[in-house]
Structure 1
Amino acid sequence: MRCVIAHFPFDFVKSEVEQLMAGITPEPALGPCVVIGRRTYPVKQVGAVITRQDRRDFTAGEMTRALTRLGFTCVTAPAPTPPESTELPGFQF
């Protein structure tokens, strides 16, 4: 499938993307992510690997659209929960 990412045309095939991502450890999932096999990768990480472009050159939206069109499941990872407060209840300064 032909996609334009950061103004450059690419021809992607789902099996090639799976093959390129095999053996790559996923970075911590924050924001837009894609499920490839049993792993969840940030879309920017996948984009950097398969296009060999700097992550600043393309948007997460461009990669999400391209990966969805290829048949991958894209999700948004939940934001990390803040640590519990160590304040004592009812204590104020």
Structure 2
Amino acid sequence: MRCVIAGYPFDLIASEVQQAMSGIKPELIVGESVRIGRRTYPVKQVGAVITRQDRRDFTAAEVTRAMRRLGFTCHPAAAAPAEG
């Protein structure tokens, strides 16, 4: 799926996003989050990994929109589940 994050086009595939995030420990969730496999990650962490860009270069909304289009479950800031 083609999407634009921080003004740059990316061709993303759900399986490639899962592979990129495998083995990466989720950071503390303080805003929007996305469920990838069995883990819930902050969307900014996922965006930084898949785009290799600085987190200040893109918004959480851009990454959330892309992740939803790929079929991942996203959670708003207030409804982020606790990771245990």
Q: State TM-score, norm by structure 2.
A: 0.90
Give the counterpart letter for 2:65 in structure 1.
R
Give the counterpart letter for 2:34 in structure 1.
V
Pairing of 1:53-72 with structure 2 (within 5 A):
53-72=53-72
Please give the per-residue CA displacement for 1:14-68, whole angstroms capped at 9, x wherever unaligned. Answer: 0000000000000001110000011000000000000000000000000000000
What is the rounded CA distance, in whole Å, between the counterparts of 1:78 and 1:10 in structure 2?
28
Moved over 3 A (4+): none
Flag the structure with more relative contact order, 1 or 2, with Cα contacts below 8 A and sequence separation at least 6. 2
User: Could you say what secondary structure the match of 2:29 adopts?
Assistant: coil
For residue 72 of structure 1, report the CA deviation from its aligned partner: 0.2
Pairing of 1:1-93 with structure 2 (within 5 A):
1-78=1-78
- Alignment partner, residue 82 of structure 2: none
Give the counterpart letter for 1:29 in structure 2.
I
User: Could you say what secondary structure the match of 2:66 adopts?
Assistant: helix
Higher helix share: 2
For residue 2 of structure 1, report the CA deviation from its aligned partner: 0.1
What is the rounded CA distance, in whole Å, between the counterparts of 1:49 and 1:38 in structure 2?
17
- Alignment partner, residue 82 of structure 1: none
Give the counterpart letter for 1:67 in structure 2.
M
- Alignment partner, residue 87 of structure 1: none
Stretches of structure 2 lacking an aligned partner (at least 5 in a row): 80-84
Stretches of structure 1 lacking an aligned partner (at least 5 in a row): 80-93
